[in-house]
Amino acid sequence: MTVSPPDIPLEIIYRDDVMVAINKPSGLLVHRTALDRHETEFAVQRLRDQIGQRVWPVHRLDRGTSGVLVFALDAVSAHALADQFAQHTPDKRYLALVRGHPAEAGVIDHPLRRVIDAIDPRTAREGAEPVEVQPALTRYRRLATVELPVMVDRYPSSRYALVEALPLTGRTHQIRRHMNHIAHPVIGDSTHGKGVHNRYFASAWGVSRLMLACIYMQLRHPVSGAAITLQCDPGDAFGRLADAFGWNPLPK
């Protein structure tokens, strides 16, 4: 897991009087949770200290996922932005490195059960109400492939692909769970992925992060209603592998 040291400023990709967006590094929690009480570094705290004013997180990004993360700078704007995410109206695009060669394009329509660690831990007690299953929809397209002459699992060579994923709903770990559902798990995913491939990338390529990054988002400005486009680089790990596998330039 990688995260920028606290003395290195977070990369701000957009800022005005009512909202700010950063390129969140992999490994950084958005905010404190009941299951991460021991952690001391959070995007909310670091950004607040960096810009010298309170910030309101308006959506989530998994700890291991890097990329576009949006905050409001006042409570009214926070409500307006959070409402957009609740209605799944922002256009979000992710890059993912996955095991295998998926179809050139597809739609994964697979309902997902709510993740226990994403809700109040008290609801996980014995005798609690069953955790509901929610509709979940992800569109994806394959951008590039590679086949390496290395026996990582049970085959003499190993296949990997670069995928663009567009979540049309906002379920917890949706892209990770959906890619695993179609047997193409995201590299570096210790929860929904495959350990042997994660270990291979850590040892052979020095890549131990979750290979998932939100590189593009378009939403409505909370005051003017104008379309705001937010973009960022997927990170050094993606860049190194793209160089090695001949996948440059990476999509923006």
| Residue 212 near residue 94, CB atoms below 8 Å | yes
Q: What is the pLDDT along the chain (252 residues), one digit of tens a residue?
A: 555 556 689 999 999 999 999 999 999 999 765 455 565 679 999 999 999 999 999 999 999 999 999 999 999 999 999 999 999 999 999 999 999 999 999 999 999 998 765 444 434 444 444 568 999 999 999 999 999 999 998 889 999 999 999 999 999 999 999 999 999 999 999 999 999 999 999 999 999 999 999 999 999 999 999 999 999 999 999 999 999 999 987 766
pLDDT, tens digit (0-9, with 9 covering 90-100), for 190-216: 999 999 999 999 999 999 999 999 999
Residue 1 inside a domain? The answer is: no
Q: How far apart are CA 31 and CA 165, in angstroms?
A: 25
Q: How far apart are CA 130 and CA 25, in angstroms?
A: 34
pLDDT, tens digit (0-9, with 9 covering 90-100), for 20-54: 999 999 999 997 654 555 656 799 999 999 999 99
Q: How far apart are CA 24 and CA 27, in angstroms?
A: 9
Residue 2 inside a domain? The answer is: no
Residue 53 inside a domain? The answer is: yes
- What burial class does residue 162 get, using C-beta atoms within 10 Å of its C-beta: 0-12 exposed, 13-18 middle, 19+ buried? buried
Residue 159 inside a domain? The answer is: yes
Residue 233 inside a domain? The answer is: yes
pLDDT recorded at residue 64: 95
Instruction: Using DSSP, state whether 179 is helix, strand or coil.
Output: helix
| Residue 70 near residue 96, CB atoms below 8 Å | no
Number of domains in the chain: 1
Catalytic residue numbers read 62
Q: How far apart are CA 245 and CA 86, in angstroms?
A: 38
In the chain, pLDDT over 90 holds for what percent of residues? 81
Residue 4 inside a domain? The answer is: no
Residue 5 inside a domain? The answer is: no
Residue 52 inside a domain? The answer is: yes
Q: How far apart are CA 157 and CA 223, in angstroms?
A: 53
Q: Show the domain range for 211.
A: 11-243
pLDDT recorded at residue 39: 58
pLDDT recorded at residue 153: 86
pTM (2 decimals)? Answer: 0.89
Task: Read off the CATH number of the domain in which 183 is found.
Answer: 3.30.2350.10
